[in-house]
Amino acid sequence: MLIERLTKLALLGSSWVLYLLLVLSVISIATMVERWVYFARRSGDLEEQRPRLVARLDAADLDGLDELLAADRSLQGRIAREALRWLHGGPEAMADAVDAELSRIRAELERGVNLLGTLGNNAPFIGLFGTVLGVIIAFHSLGESGGNAGAMGGVMGGIAEALVATGVGLFVALPAVVAYNLIQRRIGQIEADAAALVKLISAYAKSDARILETARARSAEAARRPKSVEASRRAKKVEADDDSVHDDGAAVAVASEAKG
């Protein structure tokens, strides 16, 4: 009884499997294009920037180094700049800052990667499922024909059409697997480049005391800046209140003179 019901379900056709694979292929291509655009917009040539970075470090010019990293659009520069903010705490603080920043942007880097990996692993099986359904339909047709030799051509044609589903599944899976591997390689390269850049800054900080002194001075200045800004705002507010009181007093005096 159960087999009969499953057979009836299988005889509904396998064309829906092809439509499903078509939809999955569109999603896969869209994900690959989005990832390509994302990494293209955030790519940079750190090797070209390296001489300028070293020149800033040799001169202990952390402000210039910060400006140079801010102008770089690469993710490596973004991570290194975040680590530079914690240079006043020493190399260990920088390493912790790098780990924190990498953890924060990891979800951004890996967006869509799991989808590509899932499609690469399972799209062939979806196509194989369509092929199995097609073969079931073909043999069912052969059984209904009563072994008629003239019906064999139609059965073979049905099996050939069923194998198309397997081919389409492989067509969807192969680009997804390639894209998955390329993205993983790109993410690993970004992490390695960022770590190398931060280690370079850390090495200069360990060998040149001026860098740590400059970093601590910048940190102290940044800590005082909000207080000075707040004090300036309060001073402006007091001046505005004094002006308001003065204006009110002048208006009262004018009114009194008018009454007199």
pLDDT tens figures, 61-115? 888 888 888 888 888 888 888 888 888 888 788 888 888 888 888 888 888 899 9
Confidence of residue 35 (pLDDT cuts 50, 70, 90): very high
Higher-scoring residue by pLDDT: 140, 108: 108
Q: Give the long-range contacts of residues 95-104, CB within 8 A, separation 24 or more.
A: 95/198, 95/202, 98/194, 98/195, 98/198, 102/191, 102/194
144-175 tens-digit pLDDT: 666 565 556 666 766 777 788 888 899 999 99
What's the mean per-residue pLDDT of the chain?
A: 77
22-31, 134-143, 203-212: least confidently modelled range? 134-143
Q: 184-192: long-range contacts at Cβ-Cβ below 8 A with a sequence spacing of 24 or more?
A: 184/113, 186/39, 187/109, 187/110, 187/113, 190/75, 190/76, 190/109, 191/102
> Which pLDDT value is given to residue 254?
43
Tokens for 91? 């190399």
DSSP 42: T
* pLDDT of 42 higher than 90: no
Residues 6 or more apart in contact with residue 56 via CB below 8 angstroms? 62, 64, 65, 68
| pLDDT number for residue 34 | 93
